[in-house]
Amino acid sequence: MLLWPGGVSAATLSGKVRLDHQNIVITDQKIYRGQFDLRSELPVGDEYVLSKVIVSFKFQDDQEWVSKAGESNLTDSGKVVRRRGFSLKDNGIAGRTDHYFTSKSTIHLSNEEEVAKLIIGRNIYFATTMRRRDVSREVTGRRSMLLGIYPDEGDQGRLRQHHRITESVVETRRDGYDGMFEMRQKALDITSAQDLAHKGILDFELSGTGDYIFMEATLQYEGYTTGAEPPEQESVGMLGRFFTWLGLFSLPVGGLLWIKRNRPAPPRRRRRVRATP
């Protein structure tokens, strides 16, 4: 509590209200209406003014990625591994040669952009999800198939057992919108602040485009009780009154000095000079 001259007092007012763990799904057809209730936070029986109201909202994408199968192909990796075959020497076979291939399947993932729309008081705000683009590869298996026994040019034409080793890979290409997004530190207009001070409740509405999840929200407020002017204004008012009285006191004193300085001097008397005979 701050005390001011004249027996008048004023107190600052501030606080925060959170809406945690909401987890409410918002869709094109499903609009959510909620409220901030400050009736238990604001003073009872005192007159007050809210000078600043700031809100923040956090959202989460619904992560509904749409999967679509893409192209598949078999490619020779160019990798060749030769092994010695001890049990096959009697048959004139020098060993085993493995030829590595890659069988790749592509999956395309997409997710439409989500746009959150907030109406709170006379204010309208928007927030959108961030775009995500990445490519990931996963080896899903490996199989071996005998190609035959024939001369290996890479081993001076000697007979070898040739195998094809096929490695199966799934490549996922993701291109869409995902993750957390938010509206941060949005200052409301003075009318919304006055409505909140009058009712103690501030309503809001969430809608938009796509599907997203309303996670949490925060409202911060600042103000003062109306028993006196805000501290800054009171200080300025006291200083102004001081200079006003100083000016009023200086006027008559300055006027007298000015009149005295500018008053015309009285005429000098001329001396009579007697002539001598």
Residue 42 has a pLDDT of 86
pLDDT tens track for 137-156: 999 999 999 999 999 999 99
40 SS3 class: coil
The pLDDT of 231-258, averaged and rounded, is: 55
Select from 96, 93, 72, 75 the least CA-distant residue to 84.
96
Name, in order, each residue with C-beta under 8 angstroms of 242's C-beta and a sequence gap of 6 or more: none
Q: Among 37-51, 130-144, 210-224, which stretch is predicted with the lowest mean pLDDT?
A: 37-51
Say how far apart CA 149 and CA 78 lie, in whole Å. 19
* pLDDT for the residue numbered 227: 61
Over range 71-89, report the average pLDDT.
Answer: 83
The more confident residue out of 251 and 15 is: 15
Check residue 85 and report its DSSP letter: -
Give the per-residue SS3 of 12-35.
Answer: EEEEEEEECCCCEEECCCCCEEEE
Query: Is pLDDT above 70 for 113?
Result: yes
Task: Enter the tokens of residue 128.
Answer: 């959108």
Spatial neighbors of 151 by CB under 8 A, at least 6 apart, are: 157, 158, 159, 160
pLDDT at 4: 31
Question: Which residue would you say has higher pLDDT here, 228 or 227?
Answer: 227
Angle ∠(61,65,67) on CA atoms, nearest 5:
175
Nearest to 102 by CA among 148, 70, 145, 142: 142
**Residue ranges of the domains in the chain?**
67-109+136-172
